[in-house]
Structures are given as C-alpha cells and as structure tokens.
A and B are shown apart, each in its own frame.
Chain A
Amino acid sequence: KNQVEQSPQSLIILEGKNCTLQCNYTVSPFSNLRWYKQDTGRGPVSLTIMTFSENTKSNGRYTATLDADTKQSSLHITASQLSDSASYICVVSAPGGGADGLTFGKGTHLIIQP
C-alpha cells in the first residue's frame, strides 16, 4: 500500500531559527514529489515539485531535497518568519497521473513563535 509519512507531526520554533521537515514514502513507481504549504483555513499552495532526477530545489527560504533511493524528502526552512506558521504537506505522485495516483501525507504543523 502506498504511504507517505511525515515527521514531526508538529513543531514549534522561534522566529529566525531554521527547521527541517521530513517526508518518507513507499509509493512505487514514483513520478514526482511535492511540498505544499497550507495556512490555517486556506487551501494548500505548492512550494516545490521534484521529479526522480532532481535532488534539490529551492523556493526562496524553502529548500526541498529528494533521495529517490531511500525514498526520503526533506523541506528546510531558513531564517523562519512568523508567516511560515502553517501546515506543510508532502504529496507523492505515481506515473500516469490521475487522481488516484496521488498519496498525501498528513502534514507537519509548524508554529513560529516571536
């Protein structure tokens, strides 16, 4: 069964600090992996998308890594800001697309404290 596990479930850090969120998956075969940011009460917004051949991708202060061999991904946030407080969702896609080709993690709830 395809699964996406995210850790930690929740995280509290001080403003200005860095943090790393983890995503482990068992989805096979693999097409791409995405990280979404979801503000409270809003829809998820895509941060990064990585295919099998990509190891690192950055979007501002967000840097995602992918190790397709170990089926692990991480999202690193640098110099955190209060606006980074949100849930971060990892989504893994199987080839061929289609709605049933997506497996969602439950997300990591990140709180940035001043």
Chain B
Amino acid sequence: SQTIHQWPATLVQPVGSPLSLECTVEGTSNPNLYWYRQAAGRGLQLLFYSVGIGQISSEVPQNLSASRPQDRQFILSSKKLLLSDSGFYLCAWVGGRHYNEQFFGPGTRLTVL
C-alpha cells in the first residue's frame, strides 16, 4: 500500500531563518505531488505541484520554493521565513480509482516567531 511521510511534524523558526520541509511517498511511482498550506480558519491553499522529477509549478507567488530531486521526494524550502509563513503544511499525492483523488500526509506545523 501507498504511504506518505512528512517531517518534521512540528517546527518553530525565527523570522528570517531558512526552511526545509520534506515529503516522501512509498508504494507508488511517478506520483503527482502537491504542497498545500492551511492557515488558521482558512481553507487549503495550493502552493506547488509537481508531475515529475525537476518539474515544479507554482500556484502562488511568495518567498517559498519547491524542488523534486527524486521521483518520490518533494521538498518545500525558503531562504528567509516571514511571520506570514506560519501554518500547517500538507503534502499530498494523487492516486486511487478516481482521477486526482488526493491522499494527504500527516502535515508539518510551522510556527514563525
């Protein structure tokens, strides 16, 4: 069966510090991968998605970036965090019987102070 991992689970970082969140998927090959942010009281916001190694599409202009160095690895980064980057970050992949049915990882809670 397929599983999706994210780490770290929680992170507290000062403003201006760098960020690296990692997502890996097991049990599938060439998945479409997604990064979402969920701010308090708001819906899921799509940040990036990737259909393959080295292929990144950005949905929202911001100080975050994403990379896909391996087929089942998706990384979310920032060179300098802002207070507004605080939130719950979710990685997801597409699979299942229904096209674009998304399966989400456990999430990373990021607090920028």
Q: Report A's interface with B, CB cutoff 8 A.
A: 31-32, 34, 36, 41-46, 49, 51, 89, 91, 93, 97-102, 104-107
| B84, CB-defined interface residue at 8 Å | no
How far apart sit A34 and B43, CA to CA, in the bound complex (Å)?
15
Cβ-defined contact, B107 with A42, below 8 A: yes
- The number of chain B residues with a CB under 8 A from chain A is 26
Contact A43 B98 (CB under 8 A): no
Chain A residue nearest to B34 (CB atoms) is A99
Query: Quick check: A99 and B46 within 8 Å, CB to CB?
Result: yes
A32, A89, A97: which contacts B44 (Cβ < 8 A)?
A89
A107 contacts which chain B residues (CB < 8 A)?
Answer: 43
With contacts defined as CB atoms under 8 Å apart, how many contacts are there between chain A and chain B in the complex?
A: 54
Task: Contacts A104-B44, A106-B43 given; indicate if A34 touches B101 (C-beta within 8 A).
Answer: yes
Distance in angstroms from B64 CB to nearest chain A CB is: 15
A43 touches B101 (CB 8 A): no
Chain A residue nearest to B33 (CB atoms) is: A99
Residue B32 lies at the interface, judged by CB distance under 8 Å to chain A: yes
A46 touches B43 (CB 8 A): no
Encode B102-113 as 1/0 by CB contact (under 8 A) with A.
Answer: 111111010000
Using A91-B102, A104-B44, A106-B43 as known contacts, list a sample of 18 further A-B pairs with CB atoms less than 8 Å apart, ordered by residue number in A: A32-B98, A34-B101, A41-B88, A41-B109, A42-B106, A43-B90, A43-B104, A43-B105, A44-B44, A46-B103, A89-B44, A97-B99, A97-B100, A98-B100, A102-B100, A105-B43, A106-B41, A106-B42
Whether A99 and B49, one on each chain, are in contact in the complex, defined by CB atoms closer than 8 angstroms, is yes
Shortest distance from the beta carbon of B58 to any chain A beta carbon, whole Å: 11
For A49, the chain B residues whose CB sits under 8 A away are 98, 101
Q: Which residue on chain A has the smallest CB distance to residue B44?
A: A104
B26 within 8 A of A: no
Q: How far is the CB of B57 from chain A (nearest CB, A)?
A: 7
Shortest distance between the CB of A47 and any CB in chain B (Å): 12
When C-beta atoms are compared, the residue in chain A nearest to B50 turns out to be A99
